[in-house]
Amino acid sequence: MTESAERQQILDQVRSFAATSLARSTFVAGESTVPVSGKVLDPEDLVALVDSSLDGWLTAGRFHIDFERALAKYVGSRSAMFVNSGSSANLVALSGLTSSKLGKRALKPGDEVLTVAAGFPTTVNPIIQNGLRPVVVDVELGTYDAIAERLREAVGPKTKAIMMAHTLGNPFDLDVVQELCKEHGLWLVEDSCDALGSTYNGKRTGSFGDTATVSFYPAHHITTGEGGAVFVKSPLVRKQVESFRDWGRDCYCETGHDNTCFKRFEWQLGDLPLGYDHKYIYSHIGYNLKATDMQAALGLSQLAKLDGFVDARKRNFSHLHSRLSGVEGLILPRATPKSDPSWFGFPITLDPEHPVDRNALQRFLDERKIGSRLIFAGNLMKQPAYRNVDFRVVGDMTNTDIIMNRAFWVGVYPGLTIPMLDYIADSIIEFMESANR
């Protein structure tokens, strides 16, 4: 048997095994769990993982390159770089903008970056980790994105960038953000980790920023296990982001390739001797945040199904919204104008004027095996890790604090069925009606 035939035999066996092992069990209300998020795999995903592993090329390889190109094409960006997590993507997406190779536009310690406190920590962490100052504004209830006019008020003489997330897949006001970036010469780092497939004014999120990010953790729109990506418009910026991802090296050769610049032993940088091997010259204090080829293979397989996943999220969101509309005491989510979100979850805020307790509602759902989550850090400034961070706060944080105390979200991911969604809605309605008596 040839090596090719033997490989095909192995993959056929994997496909057959996966068809059984991945089969869904019947949902039984009250007995089966209703996860808030999760991966959706099919036999071709496991085949892709095994196929790539049989190459024995465990770092970036043939699948890696194809995945980056397919990602960039899907989003509508010039290029994409695969990394080991969405949080790593955020780190290098901002760190790349601190490179001295960007000249006068390079971000420097003390520069300010506009953001929000109602979000996930790793949207704000890179600002702090790079010695920059986070400037936070309040968000809207319902959209959970920054209040646009507050962003206008927040721009100051030290403001050099905006770095925000499309909360739970709902795009922030890109008209105002782009206007501010153009008027004041600001960088835009677009955290699209929860928004793959969302659009704003007909254009996919991730394509607007100077740099942008997505996450491929199993909870997200597609998965590579751990994983994420950075999208970049400028070739110059791409080199810096890539350098921070790859140990901070100056060399830009792909893994497994040498001397693509044709002068590997002719460089003279820093105080190094002339001819020092360019593969070992470092222009930044960087990291190793690369992902494996097996992850890329899974990503390619998942990407082929992304449109279907997005459609399912939208259908599930609409079903929950229809079922919960009119329920007293609930502030339901709404899309921002001009946007068509690929919802990551279904956020709900309990009306501050209503006596119902969020913790009691979450415990009620948990007893029924229905998953729920808070809107990430709530008010990040009140988290223990951020007590001594020098935030500049613009205006009050009224809605951010309401979210911290009275908001949560339930799932809409493609693995949820209509009976599961009805069970979620019935349970919330039952709890709220009991509280309203």
List the structure tokens of 356: 């119902």
Helices (DSSP H) in 142-206: which residue ranges?
148-154, 174-184
Q: Tokens 């009306």 — which residue?
A: 351
Which entry of 64, 166, 184, 220 is annotated as an active-site residue? Answer: 220
**Helices 43-55 and 62-75, interaxial angle, to 10°?**
140
- Distances in Å between the Cα of 13 and the Cα atoms of 9, 19, 50, 52, 57 are 6, 10, 11, 15, 22
Residue 33 has phi, psi (to 5 degrees) of -80, 150
Query: Interhelix angle for 358-367 vs 418-436, to 10°?
Result: 140
> What is the b/e burial string over 105-132, where b = at least 16 CB atoms within 10 angstroms of the residue's CB?
ebbeeebbbbbbbbbbebbbbbbbebeb
Identify the three-state secondary structure at position 241. Answer: helix
Would you say 301 and 84 are in contact if contact means Cβ atoms under 8 Å apart?
no
Whether the CB-CB separation of 150 and 180 falls below 8 Å is answered with no
What lies within 8 Å, CB to CB, of 69 at 6+ separation is: 80
Residues 395, 153 contacting (CB under 8 angstroms): yes
Look at residues 366, 410, 389 and name the one whose alpha carbon lies nearest to residue 134: 389
Tell me if residue 220 is catalytic.
Answer: yes
Which residues are the active-site residues?
Answer: 220
